């Protein structure tokens, strides 16, 4: 089927895309580039959970160090979520596609497509636009069907499951929601 560079946001979200793409016969390499994650302790927890899963399943991953400056260079403060998130997806997809092109991957894709909380159509649109720019095919799959099952599997495996999307703003929004509920 070809080789695919799969952008991975965290361990639990990699479970279903990895199993589906493997079943379809793709050779998969993971790509952990997530400068959105805040703070560094959270970044390390997500990275380590992915490492644990990849060792179990025996697939390779390209890891990037913690680069919050990449995120803050693109995402200005005070953006609404609908303005902020597409920039965040684009940042990560651009890096994935560039690496895929430089390293002769036929396809690139992302585990962002597993989340029912993200805008699937917008991510698809971005992926397809970026694919044209880099000349690497965007492998689109609606992975959302496997989201719940993967979360359950992550729980059984004891993999770290995050409580917020990733950036400092999503962390603050969650904390505000908790405080709001407690009032």
Q: Tokens in use for 34? A: 């997530």
Using the rule CB under 6 A, give the single segment among 20-28, 57-65, 143-151, 167-175 that binds ligand SF4. Answer: 167-175
Tally Cβ neighbours within 10 Å of residue 156: 8
Among the listed residues 4, 21, 93, 167, the single contact to ligand SF4 using CB under 6 A: 167
**Cα separation values, 126 from 13, 104, 179, Å:** 19, 21, 35
Binding mask 86-125 for ligand SF4 (x = CB under 6 A): --x-------------------------------------
Burial of 100 (0-12, 13-18, 19+ CB in 10 A): buried
Binding mask 22-61 for ligand SF4 (x = CB under 6 A): --------------x-------------------------
Find the shortest distance in angstroms from Cβ 64 to ligand SF4: 15
Our measurement of the distance from residue 1's CA atom to the centroid of its chain's CA atoms, rounded to an integer in Å, reads: 22
Binding mask 56-85 for ligand SF4 (x = CB under 6 A): ----------------------------xx
Residue 3, phi then psi, degrees to nearest 5: -100, 140
The residue among 51 and 72 lying less far from ligand SF4, judged by its C-beta, is 72
The residue among 36 and 54 lying less far from ligand SF4, judged by its C-beta, is 36
End-to-end CA distance of the chain: 54
Quote the CA–CA distance of 65 and 35 in Å, as a whole number.
8
Residues of this chain that bind ligand SF4 (CB under 6 A): 36, 84-85, 88, 165-167, 169-170
């Amino acid at each position: 089927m070809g080789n695919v560079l799969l952008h991975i946001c965290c361990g639990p979200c990699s479970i279903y895309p990895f199993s589906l793409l493997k079943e379809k016969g793709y050779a998969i390499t993971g790509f952990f580039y997530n400068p959105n994650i805040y703070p560094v302790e959270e970044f390390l927890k997500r990275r380590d959970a992915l490492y644990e899963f990849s060792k179990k399943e025996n697939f390779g991953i390209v890891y990037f160090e913690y680069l919050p400056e990449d995120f803050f260079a693109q995402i200005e403060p005070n953006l609404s979520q609908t303005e902020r998130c597409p920039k965040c997806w684009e940042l990560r997809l651009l890096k994935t596609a560039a690496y895929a092109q430089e390293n002769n991957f036929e396809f690139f894709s992302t585990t962002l497509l597993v989340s029912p909380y993200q805008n699937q159509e917008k991510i698809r649109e971005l992926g397809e636009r970026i694919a044209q720019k880099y000349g690497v095919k965007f492998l689109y799959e609606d992975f959302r069907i496997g989201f719940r099952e993967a979360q359950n599997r992550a729980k059984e495996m004891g993999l770290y499951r995050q409580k917020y999307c990733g950036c400092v703003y999503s962390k603050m929004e969650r904390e505000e929601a908790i405080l709001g509920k407690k009032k």
